[in-house]
Amino acid sequence: MKTYAVIGLGKFGFHIAKGLAEQGMDIIAIDNDAHKIQDISEFIEDAVVLDSTDIRALKEAGVVGLDTVIISIGENIEASILTLMALKELENKTIIAKAITLTHGEILARLGAFKVIYPERESAKKLVENLVGNVVIDQIDFSSTIKIAKLIATRSLIGKTIGEVETEFENEIHLIACKTRDNWQFGLEKSYKIREGDMLSFIGKKAFIEKLRSLAKHESA
């Protein structure tokens, strides 16, 4: 089983840690505030009070070579950066870091964060899109250059084979799943013809997923 660590247990970090624990994941929860550790201890057994900028303390807590570590430190940008540096030195594999500002995010990315997230900005964007009713394609950042997109088959896709669609996008996107009549199917042949009502899930380079998004929005207008 993969082991995760969540560092910083404000509202965002608390719900990430709690959510992972509820999915049965092995979690180490860390904060320098004993009250926050007490709150998360109801859901996570391995919850530790420590200074995450202290590499020796992290090592003693077992935050070494973990599969994924999430840094969710609030307004203390310096602590966020120093924590990332300590985690890199301890050879943790995938580090996801919360950023407060774009400059903060750029620094984290340059220091080696696998992914930088802006929870408030991303939540606001989703809310605006839902309010104006133009959400026609759901996207998830898989990495800094790759996205996963899910959408209902648009007019321009219906009747085309998977192979034809992928060729149109220069083979820079690939269908990973298709939902037909409430059943998700994986590994469909390139000859499969897309039907009206199909739910399609693609993975590909950001620029080509954005192109797909623009096409879907244009057709729904």
Q: How far apart are CA 92 and CA 127, in angstroms?
A: 33
What pLDDT, on a 0 to 100 scale, did the predictor assign at position 110?
92
Query: How far is Cα 33 from Cα 135, in angstroms, rounded to an integer?
Result: 39
Picking from 17, 65, 10, the residue whose alpha carbon sits closest to that of residue 32 is 10
How many Cα atoms are found within 13 Å in the side-chain-facing hemisphere of 129? 13
Rounded distance between C-alpha atoms, residue 29 and residue 48, angstroms? 6
Residue tagged 């082991």 (tokens): 3
Q: What is the pLDDT of residue 63?
A: 96
Residue 131 predicted with pLDDT over 60: no
| Cβ neighbours for 163, distance < 8 A, ≥ 6 positions apart | 190, 191
3-class SS shares of the chain: helix, strand, coil, % to 5: 40, 25, 35
Q: Tell the CATH superfamily of the 128-220 domain.
A: Regulator of K+ conductance, C-terminal domain (3.30.70.1450)
Residue pLDDT, tens place only, 38-67: 999 999 999 999 999 999 999 999 999 999
pLDDT digits (tens, 9 = 90+) for 176-200: 989 887 688 888 899 999 998 898 9
Q: Which CATH class is domain 3-121?
A: alpha beta
Angstrom distance (rounded) from CA 165 to CA 172:
10
For residues 94 and 70, what is the distance between their CA atoms, to the nearest angstrom? Answer: 8
Provide the mean pLDDT of the chain. Answer: 87
pLDDT tens for 11-20 read 889 999 999 9
Q: Does 212 score more than 90 pLDDT?
A: no
User: Quick one: pLDDT at residue 64?
Assistant: 96
Contact between 150 and 200 (Cβ < 8 Å): yes
Q: Is the pLDDT of residue 135 over 70?
A: no
201-215 mean pLDDT:
87
93: which DSSP letter? S
Domain ranges of the chain: 3-121, 128-220
Q: Give the pTM.
A: 0.61
pLDDT category of residue 213 using cuts at 50, 70 and 90: confident
Biggest CA pair distance of the chain: 59
Q: Is the pLDDT of residue 127 over 80?
A: no
pLDDT score for 133: 47
pLDDT in tens, 57-110: 999 999 999 999 999 997 899 999 999 999 999 999 899 999 988 899 999 999
